Structure 1
Amino acid sequence: MESTATAASGAGSLGGALVALLLVVGLILGLAWLARRVPGIGAAAGNRHLKLVGSLSIGPRERVVVVDVGGTQLLLSTGPGGTRTLHTLEQPLPDAGGTAPSPFAQVLAQHFGKKK
């Protein structure tokens, strides 16, 4: 009888460890997916020499963005066909001064269909 109880408790602790391992792996995969989907989270957020000044959606999969690269602002077109430089701005765009919504607010607005 004692050997049956020991085997049952060993199987229970092994099952619990397996469930905990699957939970941790699932959490890591979920956070990695979230880091790719939410702007401002990830490796690009720490780059001081490259900054997104503004963007505008011009179609379901096309955007026009202004990027500051080392003090030079570029107007770029992005879409399924790739990224193209449309224009190099001679004068930088004025800073909005904090009136732009946060990246989190932009993502929520996109998901709920609100446009500004």
Structure 2
Amino acid sequence: MPAMALPAPAPAPSTTGGLLQSIFALLFVLALLVGAAWLLKRFGPKTFTGGAHVRLVGALSVGARERILVVEVGEQWIVVGASPGRMNALATMARQPHDPADDAVAAPALPGAQFAEWLKQTIDKRNGK
């Protein structure tokens, strides 16, 4: 009987080729995402709808994380209390006429301005001025 030739063993599959193919596919998908984000930023909507009818009129901090806001919606002002996890409507009123000249007169001084003035007066007293 003739000796049967054993078939040659199949070459082991290369893991390097599969790894490179996966890396290039991942880079391609990431490049598509970056390109889509750039296109959306460049040619997407400049403003969101609904923002034209709502306007912040004023705000006042009443605590470390609490504020009182006056929001204009149409022809109405809504006074809102805002804290980190909650917003409550406190009052509503008709839209008030707004004079920009009042802002310059009623603008509060910087919080540190009173302390700075007090410190300056104290130093002047100690120096005999």
Q: TM-score, normalised by structure 2?
A: 0.42
Q: TM-score, normalised by structure 1?
A: 0.45
